[in-house]
Structure 1
């Protein structure tokens, strides 16, 4: 029908059917199936025009009546679209309860409505912000199921992005990558949320880096870095800078890491993205720690710790910042100060169940206890760290911690020491450097 988009026409025909209290099955016959009627109402493209005309005839309506309805429905959908945009904006700025309250008025919205998937997605997004993972997954699953109703909104890809984030925060890193890949595959380039593809790619880089799959992560960083000036979202751009600095540090390109980090910090000064600014200062502090430049490392990490006061939300990566502070002050011989930072890192890591970062905090606390001559206490920290590393599938970290554990048992229980030694000690001794410290700093 001229002048009407298929999605718009479908919504009008759905409303006419609903007003007449007709089910899909009431209209379907040998010439038109319930599935075809549903496709027309959902605005699925490529439905034969003859089928649409036949449905209109079955509904007892014509082109003139549909056009009369168009003006009012179009205005209603336009208003609804703006309202949903406002709700998502409330979520983006941290006003989660306000967003949820505004979503409540759509509780009775039909799943056949063209914006139903968006409503489910927004509920899921709000629950992700609150850390209510199970509720979030239920809403997001519904959004994916209904996303065909709003193909160009990129709700399916956005939903997989959220599932990846949930998996990361629940310490399922491989699953986070799988969901993120699904988001990349389902992204519609000509659709809305144009920055979503960059979000997905940068998130994947982060997940790969945490799994120590440095080569894969570096390849993705190099690809997206070529078009970094096209990234309009400051938070996303700073995240990319932080990831590049981290990967350059892990591949021993220290001078380039400092150059890129400094450039990123200059850009960061023009924003109020405090979480990403903290992360970037932390990444720079880590580079200086790797270089054993303790003075500059302290400048960077001290700024990151003080900046945390401006961040009201709990931040997983800050646990890594506290751990690096522990390493810094151990190297400076300020052991009591190191203990305070590591203790704080462990407390926050346990509270947030941030296993990826908790492993490092526990391990370095074990190192500190060894340095203080408390081998029995060190063993407890190492054992907890090994259990978490095993659960997360972080084999490199597990081997690094087993080395420490064997060293500690050498002074406590020779039988256990020999058992550990026979399994891994000689293999790990062949490694030329401490892999765990390299991962952390």
Structure 2
């Protein structure tokens, strides 16, 4: 037999001939010579004996040569369709959803068409951009289901990409554990030999972020340690931000571990890479400026830290990256608190809180609230600090940011202790105990 039934295009030709051209069901094909199960195996799994396939071909009125000829023509057609679908993905990334929808509407694929998963994926991306998260999830799951139902083997990493987007949807829904699970499924589905290679680094970067936000810092560190030799050898021919995220989180972890020299070195390398993509990824370029400032801040090099933070603001005077402005003003609050310049500290953190409430970002907002409480606490204004810590703890709890919650509760407990509020202190310490126990259980697990 010349026909390779493991080829998605071959099986598509066969199924389309039966369903669309002959309008026959599997029951119409089956008889004493060929069972319904054998028809399904041919069209789905491609696992039958040569004589069974020969019977099937007679039933649908095609020779092997005709099937191969059709498959070759279809393969050429699919190359152009794939090119167009990739271009539509770029249109979505550029934010022109109306144009992307108009382009997608031109295509009418059967469910078993080999590029249908890519079609559903793009629909999911559009829904994500429109903030219709539930519909987006359904589209990504539909793409995965189609592959399973018809035993499709996409020639790119579209399935890994679907899992990456499902993880991102779960993150937006504040379910970090599910986000991590989907990220793992994406890494498992990833195939080094296929197109969309950059999706691996997107998933790795996002998984690191999910781990950090869910207070699994040790796991995040181990993950980056494992992949770092590979990352450093990359030629950086992948799309920009997946690799940049890895450098950002690596720098962050090194900084938090007190390895300031290594953190700064990693940060500087990331910034050099980000400079190449500044036109399309300005926010990541700003991340490295801010991150380097935070490293200097921890080293108490206040002048260098101030200059980096101010540089970040000046680099985005048109306010295209508001969340980075929020980061800077929060860090300014920390810096001026350390210098006991309370009015300046308060002014900057209030600006951070304003941005955070206009453009909700619970992770950043919880931090800004803690810093605002610290300004009061540092001046022994314990009663004034309490509402900020309480709001931060509540916000962090709702979104699963356990380390932020613990930090806020620790400061809150200190305030209650200073005010001799024994009952409230006890409530805080009980919650902190449960959080600490959860952390220890995670480490052991």
* Fold agreement, TM-score > 0.5: yes
For the Cα contact (< 8 Å) 2:160–2:185, is it kept in 1?
yes
Task: State how far apart, in whole Å, the 2-side matches of 1:351 and 1:132 are.
Answer: 20
- Aligned residue pair count: 423
The structure-2 alpha-carbon separation of the partners of 1:287 and 1:116, relative to structure 1 and needing over 3 Å to count, comes to: same
Is the contact between residue 416 and residue 425 of structure 2 (CA under 8 Å) also seen in structure 1? no
Q: How does 1:230-241 map to 2 (within 5 A)?
A: 230=234, 231-233=236-238, 234-241=240-247
Partner of 2:424: 420
1:250 aligns with 2:256: yes
Task: Provide the TM-score with structure 2 as the length reference.
Answer: 0.84
Query: Which of 194, 216, 220 is matched with 2:219 structurally?
Result: 216
Aligned twin of 1:131:
131
Query: C-alpha separation between the residues in 2 aligned to 1:242 and 1:261?
Result: 7
Aligned to 1:433: none
CA distance in 1 between partners of 2:81 and 2:427 (Å)? 63
Mean CA deviation greater in 306-315 or 345-354: 306-315
Correspondence for 2:352 = 345
Shift in CA distance, 120/428, structure 1 to aligned 2, threshold 3 Å? closer
**Equivalent of 1:384 in 374, 378, 391:** 391
Could you tell which deviates more after superposition, 15-24 or 418-427?
418-427
Instruction: Report the equivalent of 1:264.
Output: 270
Assess if the C-alpha contact under 8 Å between 1:274 and 1:310 holds in 2: no
Deviation at 1:349, TM superposition (A): 3.4
- Matching of residues 269-308 of structure 1 within 5 Å: 269-272=275-278, 273-308=281-316
Q: Which runs of 5+ in 1 are unaligned?
A: 430-441
Distance 1:337 1:189, change over 3 A: same
Cα deviations across residues 68-112 of structure 1 (Å, max 9, x unaligned)? 534543332222111111111222333333223312233x42212
Aligned to 1:23: 25
Q: CA deviation at 1:425?
A: 5.3
- Correspondence 1:28-427 to 2 at 5 A: 28-29=30-31, 32=34, 34=36, 36-38=38-40, 40-41=42-43, 44-106=45-107, 108-148=108-148, 149-228=152-231, 229-230=233-234, 231-233=236-238, 234-272=240-278, 273-309=281-317, 312=320, 315=323, 319-370=326-377, 375-409=382-416, 414=420, 417-424=421-428
Structure 2: gaps of 5 or more residues: 434-445
Q: How far apart, in 1, do the equivalents of 2:402 and 2:10 lie?
A: 56
Deviation (angstroms), 1:366: 2.2
Q: Aligned with 2:114: secondary structure?
A: coil
Q: Secondary structure at the match of 1:105?
A: coil
RMSD over aligned Cα atoms? 3.0
Instruction: Decide whether aligned partners of structure 1 residues 292 and 130 sit closer, same or farther in structure 2, where only a CA change above 3 A counts.
Output: farther
Distance, in Å, in 2 between the alignment partners of 1:166 and 1:114 is: 25
Change (3 A) 1:426 1:41: closer
Q: Distance in 2 between matches of 1:326 and 1:36?
A: 70
Inter-partner Cα distance in structure 1 for 2:297 and 2:36: 65
1:131-157, CA deviations, whole angstroms, 9 ceiling, x for partnerless residues?
332221111111111124234422222
Q: Give the CA deviation at 1:411.
A: 6.8
Offset of residue 180 of structure 1: 0.5
Measured after TM superposition, the shift of residue 281 of structure 1 is 1.5
Q: Mark the CA change 1:338 to 1:69 in structure 2 (over 3 Å): closer, same or farther.
A: same
